[in-house]
Chain A
Amino acid sequence: MATVAVDSLLQNPTLSFRPKAKLLLKPSRSLNCSRNRKLLFSRGACFCGFKPRWKIHVVKASSIDTALIDTFDASSSDDVLYKESFTVKRIEKVAGKIFIRLDQSKDQRNWQLTVGCSLPGKWILHWGVSYVGDTGSEWDQPPKDMRPPGSIAIRDYAIETPLKKLCEGDMVHEVKIDFNPSSAIAAIHFALKDEETGDWYQHRGRDFKVALVDYLEDDGNMVGAKRGFFGIWPGVAVQFFNMLFKAEASHANSQSSSSESKDSKNENRQLQRFYEEQPIVKEVSIGNLVSVAVRKSPDTTKNVLYLETDIPGDVVVHWGVCRDDAKAWEIPAAPYPPETAVFKNKALRTLLQPKDTGNRSRALFTLDEELVGFLFVLKLDDNTWLKFKGNDFYIPLSGASSVPGQHGESDTASEEISSKAYTDGIINGIRNLVSDLTSEKSQKTKIKEAQGSILQEIEKLAAEAYSIFRSSIPTFSEEAVLETKAPEPAVKISPGTGTGFEILCQGFNWESHKSGRRYMELKEKASEISSLGFTVIWLPPPTESVSPEGYMPKDLYNLNSRYGTVDELKELVKSLHEAGLKVLGDVVLNHRCAQFRNQNGVWNIFGGRLNWDDRAVVADDPHFQGRGNKSSGDNFHAAPNIDHSQEFVRKDLKEWLYWLREEIGYDGWRLDFVRGFWGGYVKDYLDASEPYFAVGEYWDSLSYTYGEMDHNQDAHRQRIIDWINATNGTAGAFDVTTKGILHSALERCEYWRLSDQKGKPPGVVGWWPSRAVTFIENHDTGSTQGHWRFPGGKEMQGYAYILTHPGTPAVFYDHIFSHYRSEIAALISLRNRNGVHCRSTVKIVKAERNVYAAIVDERVAMKIGPGYYEPPSGPERWSSVLEGRDYKVWEAS
């Protein structure tokens, strides 16, 4: 990525979230300036990393058209000792300017602030205002009438407005902000962002500030300030700009029209027109090639080294040779190529000669045969040095290390080798000093070189063996296969049920975003969660979101969230997989937050990779003026609801889910708010993304009569079942019915509720157990939201119920890591031990006022409630294995 002149901004995390501008304004003026300058300076001498590309020389050869290189190619391969092309990345700096103009608009009443930039890029003005009387330096959102079209609100303190090209073909972008000087706005603050690179541009390390009242204290970042010294600060800018670019840098122009200041009509305001320019530098990374070939001279005993590059401008090679692997620079004997000079008695400097054709330059070096290596670095005409991974380029002349076989190595392998060769060199140098055992040293190096190639050989062989073993049935599955219990029929995995033996862990609560490192926290717990007996973990919604918890997604392809970065997420998923857990992504498909407004100022134009417009929004929510079809479900009113009936929307979402599977490694989905759209679309999505497990959140209210919950909740569970049916059974659903009934049963001591009229469990689990994901709490119902909290202190009864019963139980994170942990762990281990699965049979043996008891698969007996129950003594002998507050569990022996 290109780095930027005003680099310190990138390191300032407050900027991207920008809670308060205060922080940015705090540092004292002098400190800020000097830090900034230093950074800029160091940039100037900076170059980028660089990788040898082992295979490119083939391509390269064809593009080189000189007779010379042709002879290289034509000569038998024995002659060519070495041939290589290196890709070099260098930073080219493009200078331009930001201009700021304050002027009266044509109607003479309003004023207009114009901010522009002369460099290409996708420029965004990130801005806000402060009002008269504001203490502190926080930003506020400007009044609506001040916001130019296309603006987006960033939280409640800033606006982002894209800069527009003045005209096609012109480089200049600008944006105009109209405002009424009689409003209470004291200043406009802004920073400029380049969306292409993600870089921020500010004014001397802080926001630009345009004061609209004259008594505002100048914090040092004011532009167009009166008192005649607004030329001073830009002057500083010119100074350090020059340091960077020496003579050829264009001077920043700062011309002022403030001398022609006019009193505005407003008596309180002493607004003055001004025009000011600030130099900016954008760094663009450009790739070039450096090709080197060595061959034996046909008629002499010497080697000929040919070096060519497509780097424009004057390129000077600083070079030397070495006679051993210590790589000490030495100046060889003449002849030298033309334009060569000795530099400080240490190296030779040769200016590459431009070639007749193409924008290339080259040089030819004749070297004695006994030399071991050719060392060089390149100096470009902007004083940039190009090196090899921070070290000198090293070209072996012996031919030993450029046998053709080595060109097949992977990049990484070869990089390791070369860096190793370097360290070897240093070490040997030291050795040389200390022990003066020259012959020993070179021997050692040889061994090490041999070792390096042996390691590569090992890697190659291992890769070969791997590919063959992998293509046949892996012999390693020993354990894994033994683990599946022999008596079970072949396990069929379906997205609605997984293996049927799944136990879910909800890996977060409503506060989990606060640490900012949730993914890393979970990673540490991966093996612990797995060892408790869970098989599936549900992670929080991963996308960029307007709300920190993640349920107001914006750019679906941006997976940096308050829970961590996309890389951390990948790392987490990898660890979870290693721990044997399947991972569910929480995907919000019902709604999505827009990034732009339509012509009516309504937020329904999306940004990011899926830049849908209002056709993707359902038509029947007046808030969002969608132009799609009517919603196929209920509407969620806080954000535009997505119209899943649109082919393009579904296609994009399918691609997105597939991408999540591939890129992140998610195994399945927890689908948010599926009440909002038809289950048939869910089927479509699941068929496309082929999850291992999927569960939808279909949450609506149970039936109550006069405030008391009805015993019969068939209508409620029927709605959930209808949804599962619509998905064709490809997804399960959270068993909200069971949770609701457990609430009443436990809270009011009405355990009779736990049997329906037909003697079956009264929730979804009674009707379609394999698709019921039973739970007692989640981030919405419990945690700090507590929308529908499970009766306090009775959680273990709830778990004793769901962890012994059919369905797929889900355990809430807060409960796992609480004092309930050991009891929950024991219940899970009992469930696993007895092979209770989502289709297990349950026989309710008691459902009375104060006790409920059931026998599952004739292997597990359980009771909850204060009443008495003991399993019958029959052919099975029951032994009590677990007992807690108002619950007890037995196993048959």
Chain B
Amino acid sequence: MEVSVIRSSSSQAKICKTELAYRDLRFCFGKNNDKNKILSRKPNSVCFESQITRLRKTGLRFTVKAVHSEPILESKSSTRSKSLDRVRLFVGLPLDAVSECNTVNHTRAIAAGLKALKLLGVEGVELPVWWGVVENLAMGKYDWSGYLTVAEMVEKAGLKLHVSLCFHASRQPKIPLPKWVLQIGESQSSIFFTDRSGQHYQECLSLAVDDLTVLNGKTPIQVYQDFCENFKSAFSTFIGSTITGISMGLGPDGELRYPSHHKAAKSGTITGVGEFQCYDINMLNLLKQHAEVNGNPLWGLGGPHDVPTYDQSPNSNCFFKDHGGSWESPYGDFFLSWYSSQLISRGNRLLSLASSIFHDSAVNVYGKVPLMHSWYKTRAHPSELTAGFYNTASRDGYEAVAEMFARNSCKIILPGMDLSDEHQPHDSLSSPELLFAQIRTACRKHGVEVSGQNLASGAPGGFEQIKKNMLGENMMDLFTFQRMGAHFFSPEHFPSFTEFVRSLSQPELHSDDLPAKEEEATESVRMSSDSDIHMQAA
């Protein structure tokens, strides 16, 4: 019954209205529940159950109530609860939670951290599992011991685990690709993405070699597949119970994109447009074939010649110019279509691999899509183009991406939920919020669920923005907060994080302010006993 109510309604929920309805509801139910009993069941945990759960339950209850008497309330409640799902909050574990030699770094700190998070009401933690740690020494030789230890700790702490399979490298902390892969790369640098000036990006393999037998007679895809299968068997006791989600690494930083920026931008400055990464031999081969098939062999000799360099602005060369830029020419369309389709195919290869491996487990499979928000307000969207998303003022590049995710029944993780337009550098033409909205729209259209992440760097006003994104019209089912570490627990940060977690359950506080409204102003934290009641009733 509950489900049907939720799914059937289509209008948007506004939380304030919900509260209203909810209060009325409480009158109906408040007194005749045996609270003592309920309370004795959960005497000891702070419940930061998000309001979504409650509201959904409210919805349920409202239907009951409607039966009693008030049709108006019913309509209210159903509009309320329709889009609300439960937001589960995860926190990322340190990137180097497991060291290169497979020991757990700062075990005690992580143990204390897990306990704190559990008490705070966080649902689970995210654990990056590195290719370069597990399969470091030789192909097919896996060592999961460090990660298994962490998984046990998490399970013991009563938290859920979201595993990110990382087939890329990290610069800081330094976690390179497996040694044996790097050795191959030394003699065969074409396995890496390469830019126009011939510089290699050594932090992940080029998508062009996905199906080439460059790794000791195996293709990278086969190696990734072996890795995933081995992971599945090693963690079989956790998958579906403690492990509820798996992110498939799709490229640089795990994201589905080209490494269009080899270095991270300096904060506070305007990011340049980046560069196309189609200059390794294999990419060039693919491009050449594609051009020949299209009857324009001359277009297959290289990428566009009139593009700016990494840190330049779009207008410093012709390709991305707002008006009359080559991106709008037939050649531009040819190149960009090919470049972006290569990326989507790579995503498809990896996600179909993952979903075929994990489809019989009770876990969700995720993939991360970047938020290339710089220059979004120009017509060409150059940052997105160089990263491989053919999304311009005249073309929606995320439809195909969302469709690909839908095809593989995977969910999208969007990082950068803490970014707001307001805090973008002065005069920059970036718009994280608009881009975010566009991707969400595409996802909604294809029924792809979106979960959020913040950038680990802590954007100004980040918490507010995250909250806005999470509780806005488009609810998210999961949010992963990056990332546990010294800063995370520092006196400068942790209290605001606590505040943030508590504020996610703000509506719950409101629901409790019958009969004494003063409470919300004076009490710092409060769990509502009502939520317990509802939980039990539901």
Contacts and interface: CB of A to CB of B under 8 A. Distances in A.
Nearest to B42: A447
A470 interface: yes
Interface stretch (A476-484, A550-558, A596-604, A690-698): A476-484
B317 interface: yes
Interface in A418-457: 420, 423-424, 426-427, 430-431, 434-435, 437, 439-440, 443-444, 446-448, 450-452, 454-455, 457
B43 interface: yes
B486 A475 contact: yes
Interface string B16-45: 000000000000000100011001000111
A448 B485 CA distance: 30
Interface stretch (B334-342, B389-397, B524-532): B524-532
Contacts of B525: 451-452, 455
A435 B30 CA distance: 11
B5 interface: no
B110 to A, nearest CB: 7
Interface string B496-519: 001000000000000000011011
A461 interface: yes
B487 A454 contact: no
The interface centre, meaning the residue of B96, B109, B518 with most chain A CB atoms within 10 A of its CB, is B109
A825 B428 CA distance: 12
A466 B490 contact: yes
A527 interface: yes
B263 A485 contact: yes
B325 interface: no
A833 B426 contact: no
A465 B172 contact: no
A532 B95 CA distance: 31
Interface in A815-848: 822, 825, 829, 832-833
30 contacts: A426-B518, A426-B522, A427-B516, A427-B519, A431-B516, A434-B515, A440-B529, A448-B526, A454-B45, A461-B119, A466-B489, A466-B494, A468-B106, A468-B109, A469-B106, A475-B173, A475-B484, A476-B485, A476-B488, A478-B95, A478-B172, A482-B263, A485-B266, A527-B460, A531-B268, A533-B268, A580-B267, A832-B269, A879-B317, A893-B308
Given A451-B46, A531-B426, A893-B312, A475 B94 contact: yes
Interface of B: 31, 35-36, 39, 43-46, 94-96, 105-106, 108-110, 112-113, 115-116, 119-120, 171-173, 262-270, 272, 308-309, 311-312, 316-317, 423, 425-427, 455-457, 460, 483-491, 494, 498, 515-516, 518-519, 522-527, 529
Chain A interface residue bracket vs B: 35 or more
| Top 10 closest pairs, chain A to chain B, by CB | A468-B109, A466-B489, A469-B486, A461-B116, A476-B487, A482-B264, A475-B485, A479-B457, A475-B94, A474-B486
A300 B518 CA distance: 42
Contacts of B270: 829
B108 A464 contact: yes
Interface residue SS majority, chain A: helix
Given A447-B39, A461-B115, 17 more contacts: A431-B515, A437-B31, A443-B39, A444-B529, A446-B43, A461-B119, A472-B106, A475-B96, A476-B487, A476-B488, A478-B95, A480-B457, A482-B171, A485-B266, A531-B268, A532-B426, A829-B270
B427 A825 contact: yes
A776 B457 CA distance: 35
B309 A893 contact: yes
Contacts of B272: 833
Contacts of A879: 316-317
A434 B27 CA distance: 13
Interface string A469-506: 11011111111111101100000000000000000000
A527 B460 CA distance: 9
Nearest to A533: B269
B226 to A, nearest CB: 29
A828 to B, nearest CB: 9
B426 A465 contact: no
Interface residue SS majority, chain B: loop
A435 B490 contact: no
A530 B527 CA distance: 40
B83 to A, nearest CB: 30
Interface string A706-725: 00000000000000000000
A462 interface: yes
Contacts of A448: 523, 526-527
A202 B267 CA distance: 56
Nearest to A485: B263
A434 B516 contact: yes
B95 A832 contact: no
A464 B487 CA distance: 13
A58 interface: no
B529 A447 contact: yes
A461 to B, nearest CB: 4
Given A448-B526, A469-B109, A479 B425 contact: no
B485 A443 contact: no
A475 B109 contact: no
Contacts of A832: 266, 269
A427 B265 CA distance: 52
B264 A474 contact: no
Interface string A853-885: 000000000000000000000000001010000
Contact of A439 (B36, B45, B262, B263): B36
A361 B13 CA distance: 64
Contacts of A452: 525
A481 B490 contact: no
B36 A443 contact: yes
B267 A479 contact: yes
A390 to B, nearest CB: 14
Given A482-B263, A825-B427, A893-B316, A455 B494 contact: no
Nearest to B489: A466
A788 to B, nearest CB: 31
Contacts of B94: 469, 475
Nearest to A429: B516
Given A833-B311, A879-B316, A891-B316, A458 B106 contact: no
Contacts of B266: 483, 485, 832
Interface string A509-553: 000000000000000000110111100000000000000000000
Contact of A475 (B95, B426, B491, B494): B95
Contacts of B267: 479, 483, 580
Contact of B312 (A430, A455, A891): A891
A463 interface: yes
A803 to B, nearest CB: 14
